[in-house]
Amino acid sequence: MMLKYYPDTDSLYIDLSGKPSAESREVSEGIVLDYDAQGNLAGIDIDNASKKVQLKELTLSQLPSSVRTVAA
């Protein structure tokens, strides 16, 4: 899973699988769910993210994998 913030558009994309999107559905204003070819949730796109999500802090708890940080 990867979270990527785009400051120029104030959007946050949460890539859940790394698979390409085959279908997208807007579930509420500015919230789009992307699905892969098998119908599995592949990503979440959040427009105007700074108004909808707390971007200042990310807390990860009890994940069964390693965490990698990439500087912007």
- What's this model's pTM, rounded to 2 decimal places? 0.85
**β-pair partners for 14:** 3, 44
Neighbours of 17 (CB within 10 A): 14
**Structural domain boundaries enclosing 12:** 2-51
**61 lies in some domain:** no
The tens digit of pLDDT for each residue in 19-57 reads 999 999 999 999 999 999 999 999 999 999 999 998 888
Structural domain contains residue 72: no
Count of structural domains, the chain? 1
Q: Does 56 map to a domain?
A: no
Question: Which CA distances in Å does 18 have to 3, 28, 40, 41, 57?
Answer: 11, 23, 12, 11, 23
> Is 68 inside a domain boundary?
no
Mean pLDDT, range 9-21, rounded to an integer: 96
